[in-house]
Amino acid sequence: MQTIDEALQKLSHSKFRSKFKLTEKDIEYINEKGIDTIRTHAEDFVRKRLAPEYIPNDGKQTPMRGHPVFVAQHACACCCRSCLNKWYKVPMNRELTEIQQQKIVNLLMSWIILNMKN
């Protein structure tokens, strides 16, 4: 099992994943809402859009922009079940456990915090 740092390092080698960056608008939104609210949003998005056993629009459920968590999901390959399977070997067609969901949220929040400093 890889650590958050190992996952972020691996993702940094992907030309596609490494192109995602927070915009000034994203950073302003995070500062306005607070990091705890952003974490709550991440938990909600993961629970509703990634955790179900069956996702009818898998691969299309996460917009590319519009919320800092959406950007982080694409940057971290946590945007759909197909990417979770490819990058992290998370089984398809099985509901995500609470622990799996929390690990995804922790990765997303680590990416967000790291990218707010850049």
Cα gap 34→95, rounded to integer Å: 29
pLDDT in tens, 76-88: 999 999 999 999 9
- The domain locations on the chain are 4-116
pLDDT band at residue 58 under the 50/70/90 scheme: confident
* Mean pLDDT along residues 54-59: 85
The confidence band for 8, taking pLDDT boundaries of 50, 70 and 90, is very high
Residue 98 has pLDDT above 80, yes or no: yes
Q: How far apart are CA 99 and CA 117, in angstroms?
A: 28
pTM for the full predicted model: 0.94
Residue 23 CA to residue 27 CA, distance in Å, equals 6
| CA angle, residues 55, 76, 47, in degrees to nearest 5 | 35
What's the CA gap between 80 and 36, in Å, rounded?
23
Pure H helices in 66-97: 68-75, 81-88
Contact of 77 with 84, CB cutoff 8 Å: yes
